[in-house]
Amino acid sequence: MKFGFILDMLKFFKVIKRSSKSKARLGLINTAHGQIKTPAFVPVATKGTIKSLTPSQVNEIGLQTAFVNTYHLVTHPGITLIEKAGGIHKFSRLNLPLMSDSGGFQVFSLAKSKRNPQGSTKRADVRGEEKPLLVKISENSVLFRSVYDGRLIEFTPEKSIEYQKKIGADIIMAFDECTDYPATYEYAKKAMERTHKWLKRCIIKKQTIDDRRSKIDIPQNLTSTINPLSSKNQQALYGVIQGGTYRDLRRKSAEFVTSQALDGIAIGGVSVGESKKEMREQVRWVSDFLPVDKPVHLLGVGQIDDIIDLVKYGLDTFDCVEPTRLARMGTIYKISNFNPQARGPISKTEELDITKSIFKEKLEPLDINCRCYTCRNFSKAYLHHLFKQKEILAYSLATFHNLYVMERFFAEIRALIEENKL
């Protein structure tokens, strides 16, 4: 009985409870760097850092996980250095489960950049700032020219997996094509089919690397005693559902991706310019195909009202730059009247622009109901002063608060699922 319990706890993903009101569920993701209680928010640490926060602040907030960007880490500081340092966890001192993307988002946002420079900025800004130079896209590879030193960088499905394995993230993504919005049906279909072909290549490449490392790193007579979560071989691979804004393509992609030998599923190509209604429809279309025994991640979505609705479709994790990016702009989150039955963008009514002059002499805390370090120690007037003077501390204090709020918000979501209220 005890042995069975241990094996159960070492599973990559375990569903703890299913809501009786929706497809929402409580889960537990096990990795070599800790556990993730789901549903969970995944702040973006694009270049191996959650901007303006130290690793100790990350721990103090109670963040469970973060999301690093493969393309940006490849360009700087480079995969060789990260691998030499012992992987991204040791290099960054972010001692928590990390996800990495495949680099595909940057690749295909650049394809749009080449065709429509005016329309590319918003998309390129979702997970990074620098817009590299696209050289060539083909069925087999994509070539960039680095903005740092001008060298050519090749991305293929196989290269993407190699890069992510060396980065050492706990959860890695298959190389995919994130289509433009709006994309024609013909192009969305072509991109979806290419994504499916690349997924098969990613699965084969990861298995080849894992098999090779197992033979080198673990003596055969010890394999039964090694904790499977302690090895880089146990990086979990997610396949990405695509299909644009077309119902039949989304459902076809969901059927294909969920049929593959994967550890988890991601939904990509949403929140890239379409309306909230369209984005939610894309998720709804695939919700019936999502696995009951594997975690599901939604790429690039993190607005509060979106999360409330999307958790009901059985989604487990969400990455988004919005809480940290808005913090650096002086937008402070407040969720004092959380109501899961509310309709409309409740986050819009619960944000403070601390740069406005009305806060210049307000000596009360940012949020009297918040117990984060920022709210316990500083006033609205002080934060207003820091932003007006462009002090770096402003970004740190605001980011700390917004991520603290997001963590508490997701804790409340988990409590509501536990009580069958969501």
Residues 199-229 have pLDDT tens digits of 999 999 999 999 987 776 555 444 433 344 5
| Containing structural domain, residue 238 | 15-218+231-329
Concatenate the DSSP letters of all residues of 28-45 into one string.
EEEETTEEEEESEEEEB-
Mean pLDDT of the chain: 87
Q: Residue 128's pLDDT is what? A: 47
Number of folded domains in the chain? 1
Q: Would you state the pLDDT for residue 369?
A: 86
More confident residue, 180 or 63: 63
Q: What is the pTM of this model?
A: 0.89
Contact, 22 vs 422, CB < 8 A? yes
Task: Answer with the residue of higher pLDDT: 350 or 55.
Answer: 55
Min mean pLDDT across 89-98, 254-263, 305-314, 352-361 is at 305-314
**Segment 166-184 mean pLDDT:** 92
Q: What percent of the chain has pLDDT over 90?
A: 69
d(CA 131, CA 110): 7
Residue 414 lies in a domain: no
- Sorting pLDDT into bands at 50, 70 and 90, what band is 319? very high
Q: What is the reported pLDDT for 177?
A: 87
CB 68 within 8 A of CB 266: no
- Residue 404: pLDDT band with limits 50, 70, 90: very high
> Residue 400: inside a domain, yes or no?
no
**pLDDT over 70 (residue 397):** yes
Give the separation between CA 131 and CA 266, rounded to whole angstroms: 24
Taking 3-state DSSP, the helix, strand and coil percentages for the chain, each rounded to the nearest 5, stand at 45, 15, 40
Pick from 335, 241, 321, 349: nearest CA to 287: 241
Q: What is the Cα–Cα distance from 171 to 175, expressed in whole angstroms? A: 13
Does 19 fall in a domain? yes
pLDDT of amino acid 216 = 67
pLDDT at 178 over 90: no
> Which residue would you say has higher pLDDT here, 234 or 319?
319
Determine the pLDDT at residue 339: 59
CB 49 within 8 Å of CB 328: no
pLDDT band at 268 (very low <50, low <70, confident <90, very high): very high
- The answer to whether residue 363 is domain-embedded is no
Pick the catalytic residue: 263, 316, 319, 367? 319
Q: Which of 101, 170, 176, 367 is catalytic?
A: 101
Catalytic: 180? no
Residue 393 covered by a domain: no
Q: Is residue 36 part of a domain?
A: yes
Supply the CATH number for residue 93's domain.
Answer: 3.20.20.105
Residue 60 located in a structural domain: yes
Query: Is residue 97 included in any domain, yes or no?
Result: yes
Query: How far is C-alpha 378 from the geometric centre of its chain's CA atoms?
Result: 30
Q: Is position 248 annotated as part of the catalytic site?
A: no
